[in-house]
């Protein structure tokens, strides 16, 4: 089998291009990463009451996320145990039971097989028990509104999986008592790129914003001086392969849906209160130029509050699902502006998402060239090496947003998963916060 430590040298910052196109590696990712990790599947606000459901994927496995009568959130395979048909064709909705379109088997919102047409045909069938033929269920846990699931019974708890990254997530999820919600609707689009390009981009690549997004930034952020990124008072932090790069400068104008004045005003009006609750570091992280990602394929932009998953569809195709997160307490007017802002910037026709998609598609296709594939990729940028981070923040932290640190640690984590025989071989950082 392939040894991933030989494909990825995270210390030197050298990555083999093979991981971005190879079919065999992709199959190994489905097994070693997607069937093992905790995956974001929904925000609790998307499945508020009995009957609410949405459908998505864990790896290439179609799943349903549904709120059952007892209030529990269930995540189960969207595949009928009879002949395998999808039992739910819709993206989201409200329903009392899932009836398979092929022969009519009916399942509860908890995944149980409740009945089927002509059930007398099964009465005398030896060994047949309805209890054995429900929808296959995943483990489900939530963190402050975000629902995660895993199909691996051996996986650690979600709390251990996220570890100290929760300290950072709280800068978005725990800014007040009311919490957050997703605005209604999911944006779905398909890109011809390997899923790791968007993941790598969100976990630590602010570098590209200075070039890829130069035009969009200048057009919309003129009065704030365009997209301002520097290694002054900015950092990267990584925990268990999850990462967040951010600036603590007073640059609300940069973020928040490209300088919408009312959102900028709203962000500023909350800073003092958030600072009292979470301290001044996280009060500034909330609205700064920043990006973050949870391993393997769930990402977000603080300030813009777009949250997104990069769902693999083969080594060279990715389905992108995205949403807008808002503080529940914000006014409807602000929430609407936020929705408009994420549509303008990070939707399939958004000025920033179009910039990015083109690059990831070309990078994926180019890496597969026969001669090209034998060359290596450079992840060695580390300009502030050795500088001590002067703040009390958990995880592996470095000075400077413009840095490949988080991306190297993402691929270190990737190699750990790909080489591990079981969860026992996958290290978890100690929890300190």
> Residues in the site for ligand FES, rule: CB under 6 A?
80, 82-83, 85, 100, 102-105
For Fe ion, give the closer residue by CB, 83 or 208. Answer: 208
Which residue, 121 or 366, is less far from ligand FES as judged by CB? Answer: 121
Q: Cα(106)–Cα(116) distance, rounded to whole angstroms?
A: 6
415: tokens are 């190699």
Residue among 17, 20, 8, 40 nearest 317 (CA): 20
Please state, in angstroms and as integers, the Cα–Cα distance from residue 286 to each residue in 141, 191, 302, following that order: 24, 29, 6
20 binds, among ligand FES, Fe ion, none (CB under 5 to 8 A by kind): none
62 three-class SS: strand
- What is the contact surface with Fe ion in residues (CB under 5 A)? 356
CA distance 30 to 178: 37
**Residue 85 interaction partner, one of ligand FES, Fe ion, none, beta carbon < 5-8 Å per kind:** ligand FES
Residues β-bridged to residue 147: 42, 142
Residue 83: CB minimum distance to ligand FES, A: 3
Which partner, Fe ion, ligand FES, none, binds residue 23 by CB below 5 to 8 Å per kind? none
200 vs 356 by CB, closer to Fe ion: 356
Instruction: Work out the number of other CB atoms within 10 angstroms of the CB of residue 145.
Output: 19
Q: Which residues have CB under 8 Å from 400's CB, separation 6+?
A: 231, 234, 235, 236, 383, 384, 387
CB 179 within 8 A of CB 328: yes
CB of 34 to Fe ion, least distance (A): 24
Task: For Fe ion, give the closer residue by CB, 312 or 357.
Answer: 357
Partner whose footprint covers residue 356, from Fe ion, ligand FES, none (CB < 5 to 8 Å by kind): Fe ion
Residue 335 interacting partner from ligand FES, Fe ion, none (CB closer than 5 to 8 Å by kind): none
* Structure-token pair, residue 342: 């994420």
Shortest Å distance, C-beta 61 to ligand FES = 17
Q: How far is the CB of 119 from ligand FES (least distance, A)?
A: 12
Please identify, using beta-carbon distances, which residue of 107 and 167 lies nearer to ligand FES.
107
Q: Please report how close the Cβ of residue 340 comes to Fe ion at its closest, in angstroms.
A: 19
List the single partner that 80 binds among ligand FES, Fe ion, none, CB under 5 to 8 Å by kind: ligand FES
Closer Cβ to ligand FES, 137 or 373, answer by number: 137
Give the nearest distance from C-beta 357 to ligand FES in angstroms: 36
The tokens describing 406, both together, are: 């988080």
Nearer to ligand FES, 80 or 267 (CB): 80
Residues 6+ apart with CB under 8 A from 15: 7, 8, 9, 376, 377, 379, 411
Q: For the CB of residue 85, give the shortest distance to ligand FES in the complex, in Å.
A: 4
Helix, strand, or coil (residue 234): strand
Tell me phi and psi for residue 27, to 5 degrees. -60, -40
């Amino acid at each position: 089998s392939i040894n991933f430590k030989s494909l990825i040298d995270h210390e030197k910052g050298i990555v083999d291009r093979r991981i971005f196109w190879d079919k065999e590696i992709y199959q190994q990712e489905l097994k070693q990463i997607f069937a093992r990790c905790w995956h974001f599947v929904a925000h609790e606000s998307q499945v508020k009451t009995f009957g609410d459901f949405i459908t998505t994927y864990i790896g290439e496995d179609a799943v349903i996320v549904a709120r059952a009568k007892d209030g529990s959130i269930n995540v189960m395979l969207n595949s009928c145990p009879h002949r395998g048909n999808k039992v739910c064709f819709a993206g989201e909705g409200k329903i009392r039971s899932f009836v398979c379109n092929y022969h009519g088997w009916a399942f509860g919102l908890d995944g149980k097989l409740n009945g089927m047409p002509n059930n007398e045909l099964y009465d005398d069938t030896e060994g047949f028990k309805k209890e054995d033929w429900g929808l296959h269920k995943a483990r489900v846990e939530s963190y402050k509104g975000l629902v995660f699931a895993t199909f691996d019974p051996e996986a650690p708890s979600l709390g251990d999986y996220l570890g100290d990254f929760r300290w950072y997530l709280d800068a978005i999820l725990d800014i007040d008592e009311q919490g957050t919600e997703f605005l209604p609707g999911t944006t779905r689009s398909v890109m011809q790129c390997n899923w790791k390009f968007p993941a790598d981009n969100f976990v630590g690549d602010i570098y590209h914003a200075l070039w890829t997004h130069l035009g969009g930034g200048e057009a919309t952020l003129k009065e704030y001086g365009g997209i301002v990124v520097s290694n002054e008072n900015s950092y990267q932090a990584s925990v268990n392969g999850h990462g967040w790069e951010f600036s603590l400068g007073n640059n609300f104008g940069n973020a928040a849906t490209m300088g919408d004045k009312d959102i900028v005003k709203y962000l500023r009006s909350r800073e003092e209160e958030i600072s009292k609750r979470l301290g001044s570091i996280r009060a500034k992280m909330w609205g700064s130029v920043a990006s973050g990602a949870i391993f393997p394929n769930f990402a977000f932009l603080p300030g813009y509050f777009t949250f997104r998953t990069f769902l693999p569809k083969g080594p060279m195709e990715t389905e992108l699902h995205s949403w807008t997160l808002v503080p529940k307490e914000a006014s409807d007017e602000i929430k609407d502006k936020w929705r408009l802002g994420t549509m303008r910037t990070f939707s399939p026709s958004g000025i920033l998402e179009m910039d990015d998609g083109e690059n990831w598609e070309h990078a994926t296709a180019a890496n597969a060239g026969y001669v090209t594939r034998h060359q290596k990729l450079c992840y060695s940028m580390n300009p502030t090496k050795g500088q001590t981070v002067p703040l009390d923040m958990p995880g592996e932290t470095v000075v400077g947003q413009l840095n490949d640190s988080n991306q190297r640690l993402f691929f270190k984590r990737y190699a750990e998963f790909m080489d591990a025989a079981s969860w026992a071989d996958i290290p978890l950082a100690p929890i300190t916060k």
